[in-house]
Each structure stands twice: as C-alpha cells, then as structure tokens.
Structure 1
Amino acid sequence: MKLERDLIEGVLETLRTLPDAHIEPAQSASGRRDKGYDARIDLHIGDRSICLLVEAKRAVYPRDVRELVWQIRRYMEPGAPDASAGQRVPLVVAEAISPGAKELLREEQVGYFDSGGSFFLPARGVYVYIEKPPPKTLAKSLRSLFSGRRAQVLHALLMHHHKWVNVKELAEQSHASPATVSQVMTELERFDWLDMQGRGPSKERLLREPGALLDAWSKQVAANRPPALRRYYVPATKPLDLPGRLGRALEQHDVAYAITHEAAAQRYSPYLSSVSQVRCRLTPGRAADEALGTLDARVVNEGANLAVIEVKSSGELLFREKLDDVWLASPILVYLDLLRSEGRAKEMAEYLRHERIGF
C-alpha cells in the first residue's frame, strides 16, 4: 500500500508540472472490486478533462503486459463503472517497468509511470512522453543478469539458441550451477523471450528471441566501464603475423587465451583492410608473463600492437573457436567487445553480427 501511495504521489507531482494542469485528489478504489483498478485521478488540462484509471504493480515485464491489457479492457468497456466519466485513460504505475514492457504498453496506448520518473500519457489532445533512466532496482537487476556466472548462462543460450535445453544441460554448457541457471531462466521468462515445454526436471526452454537478448546485453555493455588493458609492443612482428606468434607462445606455456576485438572479427568476417592492434583475453599468472617474455613484449603507454585483457575465470573464455591454429573468442563476445572499442569497431561489430551471428 505504501508503494502504491508513493507511486501515485509521483504521478501527481509530474502532472502538476504540466502547463495549465489541475488535478483533483486521487480517489482510491480499495474495497470496490467491481472497479477493477486501484485508483482514479481526474486531470483537467486546458479545456480537456481526463479520467486516469490507475493500475498499480511492483514490477512490469513483457509477459505481464498481456494480462494487464486484458484486465484494462474489461474496466474500459462502455458498461463498466466510471464509463460516464468522459475521456478515460488507463495508467499503469510500477516501481520498475522494463524497456520491453514500456514499448508494448505504448503500442497498446496504455499510459505508464515508474519510480524513475518515466511517464507516458496517450490522451486525445494531451500527449506526454518522458523517458528517464531506469530506477535503481531495475538497473541493479539488469547489471546482475549480465555479469558473472549469469552472463555465462546467457552466453550458452545465445550459442545454442536453436536448441531446446533443460537446466542440467545448460548448467554443464555454461559452467554455472543449476540454481544459477534456474534464476536466469526465471528472469528471461519475465521478458517473454523463452518458449517452454515439459514439466519438472525435464522442462526445456528454447530462446525464441535471441536478437532481443543480445540487444539488451549490448545496451548493458555500453553502460559499463570497459575492462582494463595491459598494453605491449612486440618488436619485429607484422600485425597479420602477431596472432599466430602469440598463440604459439601461450600454448607452449599452457596458457588459456582467446583473441578478440578487431583481430578476431577480421578472421570471422573480414571487414577492414588491416588491423594495427591485437587484443587478447588470457589467464594471468607467471606462465603468461613467461610466454610474453619469449616474444620480447614490452609494456608501453603508446604505440602498442598488443593489448591484454586478464580474465578472472575460465568462464570468460567459453565457446572460443580455433581458426587457422589461433583461438578466437566466441563471435558473441567479440561482438560485445567491439561495441566498447573505438574507431570503426562499432561498424565492424554490426557487420560481424549480420554476417556471422545472424540475429
């Protein structure tokens, strides 16, 4: 109830900032189940009178929107209570509304307000659209979903998006626990990106919307700080030959690695005429230092032709592929890395996605 009151007060404060607006006190619909909604706000703006019928929720995801729209249509029918109140506009208020849910609500011409201050009001003669950063609760949830072991589960799903998988299979593929996999599945179901079949331990999922998942991951990556790079100059080596030399040196010292960024994308789907720097994910330690030493690699601040990204776990090297005797990060990780790079890297990322990833 407190959350509902706080959200409605947030709506009222936003409405008061509109020019020539007058708002009558919100009326709660508590105890009146025939109403179908939680509160009513009468808004007068200019010569327009609008009755906002408020539906309060804690959080709204795409899978919730269908039920919400069905419920809203029931109390928006001509014979429903308040049908004589003039222009009526449904308004969903929630602590957090996911981007996908907002898009669906806009398509259905249903208003919304979240605790971050985003507001959409589609009324005849009065149209308000305010988009603000997601509230901290949703932002934190998304950061958690696209990091650590959970990100490994998403990575596995994207790599096997055309296959039905159960929790056990996905846990083995992603090197994550079954509990972590189950948590990720619950989150993705809220976004309505999965198809499901079966029950219990044999229940299987299919990633129906791989493109939407990758888009969401891309946005999260763009908002995060890029990983730290250790920059080196390897003398007497042409950029085209450096991945092979580096790979042989690392393998001789039993160091797990994966070439990424432009050097990897160029091997998956050639796009640039040349690549001046090689970026590599590797497991740090004495063995890695010794391998770099055999190449006479020198730490530099400028003029680097090799950049090293130290991985915290083997999970960051999942689904690497060996092409021309060189281990490359998976196309998914290469794509995400390119989005955080500079120059023409973003163009290269989109080309890689179109030509190699395919969704």
Structure 2
Amino acid sequence: MLKKANSMKQAEARAGDALRRLLEHVPILRIEDIEAEAVSADWRPDLIARLLVAGRRHLLVCEYKPNGQPRYARSALLELRNYVSQSAPEATPVFMAPYISPAVRQMCKEKEVGYLDLEGNARIAFGGVFIERMVTDKPVAEQRELKSLFRPKSAQVLRVMLREPGRAWRVTELSEISGVSLGHVSNVRAALIDREWARASNDGLVLAEPGALLDAWRDSYAAPAGERLRFYTPLHGSSLEDAARDALRTEGGAGHAAFASFSAAQWLAPYGRTGMHYFFADEEGLGKLRAALKLAPALKGENVVVTVPKDAGLLADTVEPAPGAVCTSPVQTYLDLSIAGERGAEAAEHLRQERLSWHE
C-alpha cells in the first residue's frame, strides 16, 4: 500500500513538473507556486498552481489520474467542476493524466476543463492566456493497449458483440460463443468499459459506442497474418461466381473459404466491380477453390487472391447473403476494405452506411 502511495506521489510530482514547463513559456505569466494538496477526508485537487497573470493572481486546480481513459476522466471532471464551483469559483480546473485521448480532450472542452498529459497534449485557457498543444503520435503504452484489444482472441469477442450491438451480454455467454476464455473476455470487458465503448447494465455488457469502437479498430487495423497467394482463373462473370459458390458451400464438410474484401462487398453492399477476386480460406478450403476455379499460380496477370489466415476466427465470422455466397462478416469486410487504397476506403464507407450504421 505504501509502495502504491509513493508511486502516486511520484506521478503527481511529474505532473507538476510538466505543468511548470508548460507555463514557463507564457511571457505574461509568472508562477508563484505549484504545490500538492494535503490528503484530506474531503475531496481536494491533487495540485494547485498559484500564478500571476499580468499582475493579477489566478489559480489552476488540477486533478491527476494515472489512467486517462473516459471512465476515469468523467469522474475527475465532475469532481473538479464541483470543487471549483463551491470552493474556488475564479479558478480554472485542469485534468491531468499520462495520456489523454482525443475523445477525452473533447470531453474536457465540452465541460470547460483544461487538460494536460505527460505526452505534451494540452489545452488551458484563462485570463487572457490560451495554451494549446497537440502531439500526433499515441504513446507506446496506448498503442500496445489498443493492439491488444484488437488481437485475434480479443477480436473474436468484439465480432460477436458487433453482430448484435444492442444486446446485453453475460461474460459466460461471450466466452461460449466466441470460444475465448472467461479471463480473456473479462479483460476485453474492462477495456471497453474504461473507454466508455461499452457499459455494464443489470442484464450484462452492452456496447454504448459501437461506431467509436469500429473507428479505433479501423485505425489500428493491419492485414491479417497468413499466407497471401495469387492465382489466375480462366473463369469470368457468372461462371466464376457459380463455381465459387459451389466451392464455398460447407454443409458440414471439411474445408472453409469465403468471399473477402471487394468480393464480399459485392454481396453485402455493392459499390463498384473490380477485376480481382478475393477469398479467405483454410488449407482444405484453398484446395476446393483451386479445383472449382481452375486456379493456376501467377507471378503476374493474376485475377484471384486467396489469403490463408493464421487466425481461424476470420473463417468462423461469416455471413451467407445468398445460397453458397459465404462472405466475411460486414465488420471484417469493412476493415479489409479500409486498408485497400482509396477505392477500398470509398467502398468501406459505402458498406458502413449500408450495413454498419447502427443508428448512432
């Protein structure tokens, strides 16, 4: 407990140093003192900065949280605003954390609370002073957390939830349907709640901001790991389509394959045809596609791309809008299109409007 308290004091000291460095660059401002508030039974801000601005005194009351995610930020903003209104009406409230995301920065603006994080993002306005700084890169820890949330096992949980975004889910249900352990589902649950992308209700976990979740997933998305194979097929038009649908029918047999990317989008939300055809398949499914489409390896002039992904969950998350037309899910298709160049981005946005708007 003592170790945790000392760690928190050190973090607050770093926050105080960051605030001092920020304010020292303002010509009309002089820092009289930045001090940590003593622990009290009543709520008190972590830091108070006493300033002279063009000869007039001003206070910044600051609250530091070791986690700047929306769930923690919202309570801090409420505490700051209540303290200022009751105890220091002329003071300026400032929220501080190791990293403050764009969503929380917007929250601070709406609540008229300044912010500063240890990465250098800041926005503080008072008495003729306006400071705003933005760092474009996310810190390594934040990038790591987001990547962890969208790794294959976690993604299996997210795919299940995004299929029915209005549904309340018990952890046990998500574990059973996604095939992911209870512990891992609990970690995903905590991460979604911290970012306010989901909320806990009496009935279970409900997505509160499916669009924001999908935005973050898209921004972190990379092509699935696996083997990407290029082929030439002599088939075209309806003959190719019919042969592919025959190959994609599983009917309990071994081998799985699905239309992917632009090819899946043609079934889910047609936008514009392309001369290339895309599939995901496991090894057995690849064999079926080879035979049905008469595929020949191609170093150039290819018109079929088959990805054999390491993540088996991609082939479990499919839809069948027409008999045999097995496609990657709308969410997966959207993600794949989003990294497929300018035309892919346009097709992705069309798909999102048609199939993933969720009436937000």
Alignment match of 2:129 (pick from 101, 126, 129): 126
Amino acid at match of 1:277: M
Amino acid at match of 1:163: R
**Match status 1:318 vs 2:322:** no
Could you say what the CA RMSD is over the residues aligned between the two structures, in angstroms?
A: 2.7
**Match status 1:347 vs 2:351:** no
CA–CA distance in structure 1, aligned partners of residues 238 and 22 of structure 2: 58
CA–CA distance in structure 2, aligned partners of residues 8 and 135 of structure 1: 20
Change in Cα spacing, 1:150 to 1:21, as seen in structure 2 (3 Å) is same
Identity %: 27
Alignment match of 1:152 (pick from 139, 156, 179): 156
CA–CA distance in structure 2, aligned partners of residues 242 and 158 of structure 1: 31
CA–CA distance in structure 2, aligned partners of residues 325 and 219 of structure 1: 32
Shift of 1:150: 0.8
Equivalent pairs counted in the alignment come to 346
Match in the other structure for 2:37:
29
- Of residues 208-217 and 335-344 in structure 1, the stretch that sits farther from structure 2 once superposed is 208-217
CA–CA distance in structure 2, aligned partners of residues 94 and 220 of structure 1: 22
Matches within 5 A, 1:89-100: 89-100=92-103
Q: Is the contact between residue 225 and residue 310 of structure 2 (CA under 8 Å) also seen in structure 1?
A: no
CA–CA distance in structure 2, aligned partners of residues 352 and 208 of structure 1: 21
Q: Is the contact between residue 60 and residue 91 of structure 2 (CA under 8 Å) also seen in structure 1?
A: yes
Change in Cα spacing, 1:28 to 1:245, as seen in structure 2 (3 Å) is same
**What SS does the aligned partner of 1:150 have?**
helix
**What SS does the aligned partner of 1:275 have?**
coil
Matches within 5 A, 1:139-178: 139-178=143-182
Match in the other structure for 1:230:
228
Match in the other structure for 1:335:
334
Alignment match of 1:309 (pick from 296, 307, 310): 307
**What SS does the aligned partner of 1:258 have?**
strand
Matches within 5 A, 1:245-264: 245-249=243-247, 254-264=254-264
Change in Cα spacing, 1:42 to 1:239, as seen in structure 2 (3 Å) is farther
Amino acid at match of 2:230: Y
TM-score of the aligned structures, taking structure 1 as reference length = 0.86
After superposition, the C-alpha distances for 1:121-153 in whole angstroms (9 at most, x for unaligned) are 132422222222232222211111111211111
CA–CA distance in structure 1, aligned partners of residues 132 and 30 of structure 2: 18
Amino acid at match of 2:354: E
Matches within 5 A, 1:82-93: 87-93=90-96
CA–CA distance in structure 2, aligned partners of residues 43 and 260 of structure 1: 59
After superposition, the C-alpha distances for 1:176-205 in whole angstroms (9 at most, x for unaligned) are 11111111111111122334333xxxx512
Change in Cα spacing, 1:190 to 1:248, as seen in structure 2 (3 Å) is same
Structure 1 stretches of 5 or more lacking a match? none
Matches within 5 A, 1:28-107: 28-31=36-39, 36-44=44-52, 50-77=58-85, 80=87, 87-107=90-110
Change in Cα spacing, 1:308 to 1:129, as seen in structure 2 (3 Å) is farther
Shift of 1:161: 1.1
After superposition, the C-alpha distances for 1:293-335 in whole angstroms (9 at most, x for unaligned) are 6644344444321122221132122330123412100001001
TM-score of the aligned structures, taking structure 2 as reference length = 0.85
Q: Is the contact between residue 98 and residue 138 of structure 1 (CA under 8 Å) also seen in structure 2?
A: no
**What SS does the aligned partner of 2:335 have?**
helix
**What SS does the aligned partner of 1:97 have?**
coil
- Of residues 28-37 and 210-219 in structure 1, the stretch that sits farther from structure 2 once superposed is 28-37
**What SS does the aligned partner of 2:141 have?**
helix
Amino acid at match of 2:340: S
**Match status 1:357 vs 2:360:** no
Change in Cα spacing, 1:88 to 1:225, as seen in structure 2 (3 Å) is farther
CA–CA distance in structure 2, aligned partners of residues 44 and 241 of structure 1: 79
Change in Cα spacing, 1:21 to 1:279, as seen in structure 2 (3 Å) is farther
Q: Is the contact between residue 289 and residue 295 of structure 2 (CA under 8 Å) also seen in structure 1?
A: no
Amino acid at match of 1:51: L
Shift of 1:248: 3.7
CA–CA distance in structure 2, aligned partners of residues 155 and 219 of structure 1: 16
Shift of 1:58: 0.1
CA–CA distance in structure 2, aligned partners of residues 109 and 245 of structure 1: 61
After superposition, the C-alpha distances for 1:48-104 in whole angstroms (9 at most, x for unaligned) are 7542211111012222233222211232125x1x55xxx521111111333322221
- Of residues 12-21 and 246-255 in structure 1, the stretch that sits farther from structure 2 once superposed is 246-255
Q: Is the contact between residue 161 and residue 210 of structure 1 (CA under 8 Å) also seen in structure 2?
A: yes
CA–CA distance in structure 1, aligned partners of residues 29 and 242 of structure 2: 68
Shift of 1:244: 4.2
**What SS does the aligned partner of 2:91 have?**
strand
**What SS does the aligned partner of 2:275 have?**
coil
Q: Is the contact between residue 165 and residue 205 of structure 1 (CA under 8 Å) also seen in structure 2?
A: yes
